[in-house]
Structure 1
Amino acid sequence: MTYTGVVRPGGLDDTLELAHLTVRKVAVDPAMANNSYLLRCRHTGAQVMIDAAAEPERLIPWVGDAGLDAVITTHQHWDHHRALAEVVAATGGTAMAGAPDAAAITDATGVPIGVGLADGHRIPVGESELEVIALRGHTPGSVALLYDDPAGTPHLFTGDSLFPGGVGNTFGDAAAFAQLIDDVEQRVFARLPDATWLYPGHGDDSTLGAERPHLSEWRRRGW
């Protein structure tokens, strides 16, 4: 079946088979409709989860017996880590998050952050790897994860920093918005091609090409 990236809470997950990596996407919690992602190396079986957002009773069986090498939380907001403690305990994954958000995540979940991430950090997924791109503004430690597929186009997991239609909420803070839109323009759009696939923390996927024409509009409107 063709991957669409359209998932809804209570519905089926969606799976994209790349040459070296399998990407699975599921939506959890009807109220918040968070996306959780499971990445699996097709050569070694190593797995990493992005945002153990909610519904551990669904996410843990989704992981299966292979366990997790890491559980990466894209930022400190409560809706992105409600299942973190249960998933880490059940799968053995090392908790990772942007270093400026790490203490807040531990305070909320009781889970020590084993690796505090910074811009440029590399996270192995078996024979593949994710590159951390810090996108400051939605929270101080928000991160995106880039898989630059050697056999295809880049894939970017953006948490709540970049969505179809705009950057993440900065809650009326003009300085935070300026930081976020600058980071998104300089670290994402100035670097990556239009074909880059965008996986957000909520809602449907997009591409950078679909969003690029609207950058100046986002900056003018201030959100």
Structure 2
Amino acid sequence: MKAYHVVGQAPMYTNTFLLISEAGHGVVIDPAAAAADYGQLLRKEGASLTHIFCTHGHFDHVGSAAELKEEWNAKLWCEAADLEGGQFYPLTQADSGYQEGGVIQVDEMSFTVWHTPGHTPGSVCLLCGEYLFTGDTLFAGSVGRTDLPGGSTRQLSDSLRKLAGLPIPPTAQVLPGHGDLSTFGEELKNNWYIRKSVSRQDW
């Protein structure tokens, strides 16, 4: 497997990621960069895009989803709760949502998915080996906003408590939707929001 960190377009500069299997099948997580950026990498590797995983449906995470799906005939995954077709949630349809705790297999790459609502109703986190894609649920030292439409501080606190109890290796790299990268162990130890959630104290 090869992994690429692709930075989304200004002004949000969303973190997005492209994984390519040994068989040449590509997976984009949060398609916020220009479709051509992913296409250039895929063609360089002689690969084709087969899956698009959205950690949630906010506009700054799904900007090239429709274009990529059409160009590559890739399967698009996003939770129905985030398919509103409005200003914040521009997508109106997806090929599939996610099963709680389910595993999506793409060649040798196994993606385990957990629902983590709070930033949006349909937020998820995905674990693939040592990579934990957290979208806007969990940042390095912080968490996603809950003051936007569909956000819930209580749900996000519950989701952080849930993440802390999952069998996620402490060495797993936290790959968030914005900002710096981290490890899950560092967040369990130092992230104030996780520590408060686990102790069931209000933020």
TM-score band, normalised by shorter chain: 0.7 to 0.9
In the alignment, which of 26, 47, 52 is matched to residue 31 of structure 2? 52
Describe the superposition over 1:55-78 as per-residue Cα deviations: whole angstroms up to 9, x where unpaired.
223222222252211111111111
The alignment's C-alpha RMSD in Å is 2.3
Residue 161 (str. 1) matches residue 141 (str. 2): no
**2:76·2:96 contact (CA, 8 Å) conserved in 1?**
yes
What is aligned with 2:176? 200
Pair 172,109 (structure 1): closer, same or farther in 2 beyond 3 Å: closer
Partner residue in 1 for 2:20:
40
> How far did 1:101 drift?
1.7
* Secondary structure of 1:158 counterpart: strand
The whole-number CA distance in structure 2 between the counterparts of 1:45 and 1:59 is 14
Aligned residue number for residue 15 of structure 1:
none
Contact map agreement 2:103 2:112 (CA 8 A) in 1 = yes
SS of equivalent to 2:3: strand
**Cα deviations by residue, 1:165-208 (Å, 9 ceiling, x for unpaired):** 122111189x821211221222x222223212100011221011
Who is 2:42 aligned against?
Answer: 63
* Alpha-carbon shift at residue 82 of structure 1 (Å): 1.0
Paired residue for 1:189?
164
* Pairing 1:88-107 to 2, within 5 Å after superposition: 88-104=69-85
Q: Distance in 2 between the 1:33 and 1:115 partners?
A: 26
Structure 2 residue 10 is the aligned partner of structure 1 residue 25: no
Name the residue aligned to 2:126: 145
Gaps of 5+ in 2: none
1:134-193 alpha-carbon deviations (Å, 9 max, x no partner): 10111111111111x3xxxx32101111100122111189x821211221222x222223
Q: Distance in 1 between matches of 2:117 and 2:140?
A: 18
Distance 2:176 2:104 in 1: 19
Q: Give the conservation status (yes or no) of the 8 Å contact 1:47–1:126.
A: no
- The aligned counterpart of 1:72 is 53
Specify the code of the residue in structure 2 equivalent to 1:113: A
Structure 2 contact 196–202 (Cα < 8 Å) conserved: yes
The percentage of aligned residue pairs carrying the same residue is 32
Deviation of the 1:121 alpha carbon: 2.5
SS in 1 for 2:53: strand
Give structure 1 stretches of 5+ with no counterpart: 1-20
Whether contact under 8 Å (1:119, 1:133) holds in the other structure is yes
Distance 2:7 2:60 in 1: 12
- 1:108 matched to which residue of 2? 90
> Residues 172 and 24 of structure 1: is their aligned pair in 2 closer, same or farther, counting only changes over 3 Å?
closer
